[in-house]
Structures are given as structure tokens and as C-alpha cells.
């Protein structure tokens, strides 16, 4: 290790309280996050979106390659084109592609092929994974890296009082075409972003979490 290439780890987050209290406080914040399908048309400033993308872009990634691009759509006509193309895929999904168990699992969420939120939400943040960087160089742990950045984005949006939806119309190839993105950018996640509408409801079933014992193993 060449020490000259390193800097002190001095920017530690100071919770100003015990670690446990800070961890609990963050949990109390995050557990209130909901995936929302009912958005208000109230605008969100571009500057806010930029801070959210900065937060996402601070995520760790394989060899720090940052293999992501956040295409943030506010243009009405583009949002409409995305809605039309997404609904075409979703109709195919609900009518043919999904098997019985999948449709049963979705029933409590009340989802259907109508994706009006794609035009109502003030922003559609389309996250692309880069199969290589623009200069052709390799990337590593692509899905893990982009998934982490998306998690940071969702947490940042929630912290800012904004609602998000993790939307994955499948297949998502149309997003590359509609947005005119190059071949090495693959759609990863479509995140409608905005304020939840005043009459917004969320499915009770989506709030349930299995007991901690089910997901936490300490050895």
C-alpha cells in the first residue's frame, strides 16, 4: 500500500448519539417508506433531483467504476411515450407472460396494466446500467453496483419527503429506444418520483415484513 495514495478517514458520520439510537432512528425513517402508485402533479425542482442523483452517485461500486446513468425525464411528451410503450408491455405481461402464481402474488397489490402514474409523476428517473464505460473500459459487479445506487436514491428521496415507485416494466428495452441511449446502456429500473397524491393509498399487504428472526442470522 502506497500511503501517499490514501487520505485519512476523517469524514465519519457523527450521529451525535449512541450507535444504537442512530440506527434505530434511521430504521424509523426508512420503515415509513412506501412504494407509491398515486402521485400528485406538484412539481419537484430540478435542483432537488440533482441532489438525489448525487446521493445515488455516492454509492459504492465495483472498482469504483460507477457504472450507472440516471436519465431524469420531466418532458411531458417523453413521459407519454414511455407510458404508451410500458403499457403495451404490461398488457402482454398481465394477459400472457405472467403465470398463475405471479398474478396471485400481485393481487394484494392491486396492480394492473394501466400506468397512468408514468404521466402524472413530475419526474421519471430511468436508471441505466453501463455494460462498459463510455471509453470502453470494463466494469465489475454491475448489477450489485447499480442496485446499491438505486437503494441510495430511494432512501434519499424518502428522506426528502418524496415518493418513489420501483417500476420494472418487462422487458424494458423500449426505454433505451425512447430515450435514445447508446447500446452499452441497459435499462435497470424506472423510478417515478414526486409527491404522493393527497388521496394516495398503499396496499396493506406491502407493509408487512416477516419477523426479524426470519431474515437475520447471527453466528
| Residue number with CB closer to ligand IYR (55 or 154) | 154
Shortest separation between residue 169's beta carbon and ligand IYR, angstroms: 5
Q: Which residue is associated with the grid cell 442470522? A: 217
Window 48-87: contact mask with ligand IYR (x via CB under 6 A): ----------------------------------------
Q: Are 114 and 181 in contact (CB under 8 A)?
A: no
With CA atoms as reference, report the closest residue to 69 among 139, 119, 120.
Answer: 139
Contact 150, 189 (CB under 8 A): yes
Give the alpha-carbon dihedral of 178, 180, 184, 187, to 10 degrees.
-30
CA 76-112-157 angle, 5° bins: 55
Angle at 190 between CA 204 and CA 123, to 5 degrees: 95
Instruction: Tell me if 52 sits within 8 A of 164, measured CB to CB.
Output: no
* Beta carbon nearer to ligand IYR, 10 or 99: 99
168 lies in the site for ligand IYR, by CB under 6 A: yes
Q: List 136's β-bridge partners, or say none.
A: none
CA 51 to chain CA centroid, nearest Å:
15
Residue 52 CB, shortest distance to ligand IYR, in Å, is 22
Establish if 187 lies at the interface with ligand IYR (CB under 6 A).
no
Q: Please identify, using beta-carbon distances, which residue of 23 and 109 lies nearer to ligand IYR.
A: 109
**Residue 43 β-bridge partners:** none
185 lies in the site for ligand IYR, by CB under 6 A: no
Is residue 39 at the binding interface for ligand IYR, with CB under 6 A as the rule? no
169 lines the binding site for ligand IYR (CB under 6 A)? yes
Q: How far is the CB of 92 from ligand IYR (least distance, A)?
A: 11
With CB atoms as reference, the residue minimizing the distance to ligand IYR is: 111
CA 32 to CA 30: how far, in whole Å? Answer: 5
Q: Which of 40, 74, 78, 111 binds ligand IYR (CB under 6 A)?
A: 111
Q: What is the smallest separation between the CB atom of 217 and ligand IYR, expressed in angstroms?
A: 25
> Considering beta carbons, is residue 44 or 165 the nearer one to ligand IYR?
165
Confirm or reject binding of residue 148 to ligand IYR (CB under 6 A).
Answer: no
Which residues sit at the interface with ligand IYR, rule CB under 6 A?
90, 93, 106, 109, 111, 167-170
Amino acid at each position: 500500500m502506497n500511503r501517499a495514495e490514501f487520505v485519512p478517514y476523517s469524514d465519519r458520520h457523527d450521529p451525535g448519539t449512541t450507535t444504537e439510537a442512530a440506527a434505530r432512528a434511521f430504521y424509523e425513517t426508512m420503515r415509513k417508506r412506501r412504494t407509491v402508485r398515486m402521485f400528485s402533479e406538484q412539481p419537484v425542482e430540478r435542483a432537488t433531483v440533482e441532489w438525489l442523483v448525487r446521493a445515488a452517485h455516492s454509492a459504492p461500486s465495483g472498482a469504483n467504476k460507477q457504472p450507472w446513468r440516471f436519465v431524469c425525464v420531466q418532458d411531458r411528451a417523453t413521459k407519454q411515450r414511455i407510458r404508451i410503450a410500458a403499457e403495451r408491455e404490461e398488457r402482454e405481461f398481465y394477459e400472457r407472460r405472467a403465470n398463475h402464481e405471479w398474478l396471485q402474488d400481485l393481487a394484494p397489490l392491486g396492480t394492473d396494466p394501466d400506468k397512468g402514474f408514468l404521466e402524472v409523476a413530475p419526474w421519471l428517473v430511468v436508471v441505466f446500467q453501463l455494460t462498459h464505460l463510455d471509453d470502453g473500459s470494463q466494469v465489475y459487479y454491475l448489477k450489485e453496483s447499480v442496485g446499491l445506487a438505486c437503494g441510495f436514491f430511494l432512501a434519499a428521496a424518502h428522506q426528502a419527503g418524496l415518493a418513489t415507485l420501483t417500476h420494472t416494466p418487462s422487458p424494458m428495452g423500449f426505454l433505451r429506444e425512447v430515450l435514445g441511449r447508446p447500446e452499452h446502456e441497459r435499462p435497470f429500473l424506472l423510478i417515478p418520483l414526486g409527491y404522493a397524491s393527497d388521496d394516495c393509498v398503499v396496499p396493506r399487504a406491502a407493509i408487512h415484513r416477516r419477523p426479524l428472526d426470519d431474515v437475520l442470522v447471527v453466528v
